A and B are shown apart, each in its own frame.
Chain A
Amino acid sequence: MSLIEIKNVSFSYNETKKAVNDVSFDVEQGSYVTVIGHNGSGKSTLAKLIAGLLPVKEGKILIDGKEVNEENISSMRTRLGIVFQNPDNQFIGSTVRDDIAFGLENKLVKSEDMDAIIDEYAKKVGLEAFLNYEPQNLSGGQKQRVAIAGILAMKPDIIIFDEATSMLDPKGKKEIKKLMYDLASGDDITIISITHDIEEVLQSDDCVVLNKGKLFMHDKPEEVFRNPEKLRQIELDVPFIEKVREAFAKHKIKLNADDLKGMVDELCRSSSKH
């Protein structure tokens, strides 16, 4: 049995268009799944459905074999965290310390136990020196790390990242991606990451491609990118290496290697045959 089973889920904000249309896929325990698709493909809606922030009216979502519904959503929620795109709009407390405490207060953790938990998770995201900082004195990347610490402190099984790096500068992106890869490398936490970052997709175990609300592909990232033409059809970006392959194919040079270095080797071999 998979940890998360999404079965024929549809959702619409208004009558005219379905934002998510009959989507089904499974997420295995401990895996790292990326979801790609251009803006308006239904990625964020799907994330909110899984996180229980939108009600599933058509189809069902099962976690550990149990259907998520309005009655058990609050208990399910303790197993599930979500990191949103805008670092400012998810900082609830007035300091780093208070923000991490926010979730703990909801979880009815005793006041005297909180400091130890806050310290532990602040350390985990490398913010132990910033505990008394106010949000306006933190960078975007630091704020996202606070959000992650706040979620980790609640000991979830699943964390959803909803374009969590898209508003960050390169340094912040790097920090958050590293943190995500670290979390993904263990078996405890299952990660679903909605992203535009092709390089991140290559790091994941599984990739779900959405187009106009529908499931377009669901496969290993290598398989998804094996057919760049298909991704181009729905106007998605492809990894740099595939772009290189395409550019040379136009000049009837076939490159087979899986990395840039290998490709340069191939080019060298054919040029020395002069």
Chain B
Amino acid sequence: MNNLVFGKYIPIDSLMHKLDPRAKLIGLFLMIAAVFVPKSWWVFLVIALVLTVALLFAKIGIKMIVQSFKPMIMMMIFLLVINSLTVKTGDVMFMIGGFAVYKDAVFNTLFVVVRLLLMISITTLLTATTNPLDLTLGIEWLLKPLEAVHFPAHEVAMMVSIALRFIPTIIEETMRIMNAQKSRGVDFENGRLSEKISAILSLIVPLFSVAFERAYELADAMEARGYVPGVKRTRYHVLKFSFRDFLFIFICVLILAFSIASRFYL
């Protein structure tokens, strides 16, 4: 659990951390669009350079970004295999035991992989520099226009922030139940399929019943403290746009514009 880097918040102070979560969310969408548009390798290079600068501003080591790529390695290999089997254009690049791998297959794969890696880096940059609560507030703000069509933006944000708050509690609970069942002879690692199923049930069923109990008690606690879903409340955290947020969005718009322009002029 501790090795999971993707989506993890790094609680330090940096220029990127100080940005308004809404600005960062908008920036994220602009940048992802910018990654999808270009067809030229050197546009990717420019975006990668900009990202590197942003990472420096965020005080996040390149190491962490590289670590966040790890779960993707299997997927990349899979992509390469699929592409090698299907793409048969361009020159033959090399042969594996009588099977020809074409140049386009390799380059198509690389292209997708680079896009994916850039997207992961952008997302990691956002999640590493934005505390989950602020992120929820940002998402709530983005969803706000949907309230016109009765979408419960605030309730959804409340749900997400409570879910985030309970993740460590649930992980602890999971460990405890696993230990209790191991003590009753459950082997979570080995065993036949039927044993595996029973092992998983012995974990899932108690987890759910505890989660429901928690949910009921939490609902009581919220109600007792005056929470009524759908009723207006004030907010402790108030987001404020500042000059640097506009500047940040402006830079992201520029990159997207550059990326779109590259399709026409390069």
Contact = CB atoms under 8 A, between A and B. Distances in A.
B224 A77 contact: yes
B111 interface: no
A77 B226 contact: yes
Nearest to A51: B224
B223 interface: yes
Interface string A50-74: 0111000000000000000000001
Q: Is the interface of B mostly helix, strand, loop or mixed?
A: helix
A107 B226 CA distance: 7
B235 A111 contact: yes
A247 interface: no
B52 interface: no
A94 B172 contact: no
Contacts of B172: 136
A151 interface: yes
Given A74-B226, A92-B218, A105 B236 contact: yes
A46 to B, nearest CB: 14
Contacts of A78: 226
A150 B227 CA distance: 13
B217 A154 contact: no
A267 interface: no
Contacts of A111: 234-238
A90 B216 CA distance: 10
A92 B234 contact: no
Contacts, number: 90
A110 B235 CA distance: 8
Nearest to B232: A108
Interface in B173-220: 213-214, 217-218, 220
How many chain A residues sit at the interface, stated as a range, is 35 or more
Contacts of A108: 232-234
Interface in B134-163: 161-162
A76 to B, nearest CB: 11
B220 A48 contact: yes
Given A77-B224, A92-B222, A135-B169, A101 B217 contact: no
Interface string A105-116: 111111100100
A135 B167 CA distance: 11
Given A94-B132, A94-B161, A135-B169, A105 B233 contact: yes
Contacts of B169: 88, 135-136
A98 B225 contact: no
Contacts of A101: 236
B49 interface: no
A30 interface: no
A104 B133 CA distance: 17
A109 B226 contact: no
Given A135-B165, A136-B168, A136-B172, A103 B226 contact: yes
Contacts of A102: 222, 225, 227
Contacts of B224: 51-53, 77, 80-82
B110 interface: no
Nearest to B131: A94
A51 B225 CA distance: 10
A223 B165 CA distance: 46
Contacts of B222: 92, 102
Contacts of A98: 133, 236-237
Nearest to B226: A106
A86 interface: yes
Contacts of B214: 86, 88-89
A37 B189 CA distance: 46
B134 to A, nearest CB: 10
Given A53-B223, A90-B221, A104-B236, 7 more contacts: A53-B224, A97-B236, A101-B236, A106-B233, A108-B234, A134-B168, A147-B221
21 contacts: A81-B225, A84-B217, A86-B217, A89-B218, A89-B221, A90-B217, A90-B221, A92-B218, A92-B221, A93-B165, A97-B236, A98-B237, A101-B236, A110-B234, A111-B235, A111-B236, A111-B238, A134-B168, A135-B165, A136-B169, A154-B225
Interface of B: 132-133, 161-162, 164-165, 168-169, 172, 213-214, 217-218, 220-228, 232-238
Which 7 A-B pairs rank lowest in CB-CB distance, beginning with the nearest? A106-B226, A101-B236, A90-B221, A89-B217, A103-B225, A136-B168, A105-B233
